[in-house]
Structure 1
């Protein structure tokens, strides 16, 4: 019965539940949709009003106290784990097993960590079906990423560095696309096939982009409707 009331209010997790001031307060409202919940959780008085049963109030109070206590325990456990981790990292730095920069915790934001994890997963290879890896494998990949980042930083600071990563600029990509489009149009023309627009002129690159975009939008809408 209590679970049905929580589901009716779309209270789906602990944080939402604890954020609510009083989950039984909704039963004070005058609504036909609440009558089934009032009949199961309340006592109907002679004046047709409803009052919440004492055991229902007690059960919600007990649940609230229990969740608050559990949340506090998890918070203390998390703080304790972070403290032990910080102490362990400090010992590794003291023993020269980690760089002092490791203590710059503010650099380890969630976005940076997620980006590094995605990069580590991408190192599995194009044709590899293995997307998960152990902690040891992650540390090994992170070490490789660190080396690559060091080389990249050296390249940016020293133009005479013998190794350079290939860089693709927007203009270069546009030039490649235009060149490939011209080759494709020449290939189609050799087959005596001419693709014309609605006006009757040979179709241009910009029109192809618009057609492809419209096709993708229609395809996306059809997929959403099927779902």
Structure 2
């Protein structure tokens, strides 16, 4: 199996960490290629960043050859619907993947993300995916995405404190980590708090392997039908279907 993991931001160090997390989760016969675009925001924090990250994501998909599935390694599931329209192989967002996993191990989960600016977008996704009855709350630990790579940021302690509050205030039985940059924390936080702490990168890789094994493809009937051929002018001429 060949899985292409795309980090839609342009921070190569984060892409390397995401690739390591994906390979740690992958089965022995799965090849992981982790990549990021050359243009776009250094991190995705809110709606504005998301808009400018999508062209780079699509460009990386168009460059991929021989992949059996794509993973979009941003918890906002940046550009997910457009990406599924482009590809017939499975395209899995780490946000949707992690939430699905949470519903299989708990009756109620909470999401812990980075900044408050991301909360509305993630709450929208919770409703879109039909998990609003299972999600206690989307919480922000107020750590910028790129600060997750800085040990001096105190990110782990802040996330851990939000887990305590999620258990006490939300009745959370599982925690979903709401950023790809938190992937390496899942195992230690699970041990510390005694409940499942779920990383979206690992979840998406395992779902990709399952879908490939089952021979599932993205439906091309209806919403994810291929885009109609037409000219795209100017900067985006390369993206014309």
- Measured against the shorter chain, the TM-score band is under 0.3
- The structure with the largest strand share of the pair is 2
- The structure with the largest helix share of the pair is 1
Scaled by the length of structure 1, what TM-score is found? 0.20
Is the radius of gyration larger for structure 1 or structure 2?
A: 1
* Bigger relative CO (Cα 8 Å, ≥ 6 apart): 2
Scaled by the length of structure 2, what TM-score is found? 0.20
